[in-house]
Each structure stands twice: as structure tokens, then as C-alpha cells.
Amino acid sequence: MTRRGGQEAGDGEPFTAPAAQRNHYSYAHYADPEVADGFHELRFGGPIGGYLLDTQARWLAAAVRPEPGRRILDVGTGSGRAAIAFAAAGASVVGLDYSREMLRVGRDRAGQRGVRLGLGVADAHHLPIASAGVDATVCLRLLMHVIDWPAVVAELCRVTRWRVVVDFPALASAAAVESVTRRVAAAVGRRGEPYRVIAERDMVAAFSAQGFRLVGTERQFVLPIALHKRINSLAFTTRVEGVLRSLGLLRLFGSPVAMVFER
């Protein structure tokens, strides 16, 4: 996995976003050490977080098939959850993130697992990887936050020889309501993550423009994840989501949506 120009990913000076962009919450929020330290527990702590992590790990492994010799890039690696799992399976893995604090957490977690992987600072809009420099790329829970998500999609496709996996909150889901409330809160000066939701057809169109076709889709929950975490009962989550799935509601309103694209 190399930079444009031949340097290994993570070496040299990373791309630095312009000052105006660095004020965007997608840069500023995750630069906070307290946010970084609490990120993994907030997202994946407790029975619901663990269930989410386990189910995600299974479909990710099926999508990118981590094995010795396979080169995998994790863009927006955060606490390294996907990158660590891929490296533990024997793949050659690089995880990139703009937040040095998140990378610090990722390095600590990789060390605790005894896993070797490359971690480096980079902006998803300007990846320090050669064209077709990796076999597969994953980008989880990032397109909802970045400034220009189609530009990031173009970069993910540029660096990838085979498959790209992304996930995002769907336009046709309960996440759309939360997105609106968060954006309103941000407009009146409240701190937070005013993320976007994305229509599936728009995501397919963005990848199609780069020569990639959709080969797989996974939807995770019908009810908001925040609600499941508030109830904090794995039995409730599996039972209720199972009923909603049997009624066909997961296919219509499930979110986040994970999509696998292939060149």
C-alpha cells in the first residue's frame, strides 16, 4: 500500500485540511481526547453494542474476505474495530483517520489484542494511497459526517482494486428524523454531530460513476439504535427486530445500510 509518489501510507506529512474545513464538526469533534477515549464504549459497549459489533464483524468478513496476502484499507478507522479484526484474520491492513486522538485509541486497542497493523493520519478526501493500491476498502459510519461525501466515494474507488464497503444512515429510516433534529440543534449553536442521511439510489449512482456496481446490501435495525441502547435488553432487540424483519420492514426502513460495491 503506497502513497502517490511511493511512500508507505502513514509516512511523511499527511494532508492538512484548510482551516475553514477544520472547524467542521467532523474534524473538531473527534479531535477531542475525551470523545476519542469514550468512543468505543459509547458505540459498542453493553449488550446492544456488542451485538452490533458481532453482527457487523460477520458481514464485513464475508464482504472483504480477510486472509493472508489480502490488502485492506480502513478509512475513518476510529478505534480500529474493523482494522483489528481484519489484521487478526491475517490480512495486511492499514487504518487511516484524520484524528490523532482516535488513532491513539486504535493503537492501544491493537496492542491489547496483540495485532500488527499500520495506522496513519489522513483525510478521507485525499487518501495517501496509490490508485488500485489495495484490494478492498471499508469506510464505516464516515460518509454521514464528511464535508463532501461523493468526493470521498471517488477516493475510495480510486485506491481500490476489487471491493469497497460503506455504511450510512438511510434516508428512509428513523435516522432521518434524528438527523433533522441534530441539524436544527447545530444551527442554534449546540455542539454535536449533525450528520446527514443518504438515499440508497444516490449512493449507488456515486459508485456507478466510478465504475463500481452494487453486489450486496445489509440493513441492521428498523428501530433506532439509540432506542435499543436505552432499553438495553438483547432479548428485546432480537425479538422485536425479528418480528419487524418478518413483516418486511427491515428491507424498507432498515438503517444503517451497508453496501458492498465491486469493480
Domain boundaries, the chain: 19-262
In DSSP notation, the chain reads: -B-TTSPBTT-SPPP---HHHHTSHHHHGGG-HHHHHHHHHHHH-HHHHHHHHHHHHHHHHHHH---TT-EEEEET-TTTHHHHHHHHTT-EEEEEES-HHHHHHHHHHHHHHT---EEEE-BTTB--S-TT-EEEEEE-S-TTTSS-HHHHHHHHHHHEEEEEEEEE-BSSSTHHHHHHHHHHHHHTT--S-----B-HHHHHHHHHTTT-EEEEEEEEESS-HHHHHHHT-HHHHHHHHHHHHHTTHHHHH-EEEEEEEE-
Q: Choose which CATH entry (3.40.50.150, 2.60.120.10, 3.40.50.970, 1.10.10.10) describes domain 19-262.
A: 3.40.50.150
Q: What is the mean pLDDT of residues 225-235?
A: 91
Indicate whether 22 pLDDT > 80. Answer: no
Q: State pTM to two decimals.
A: 0.88
Least confident of 91-100, 124-133, 191-200, 241-250: 191-200
pLDDT recorded at residue 161: 98
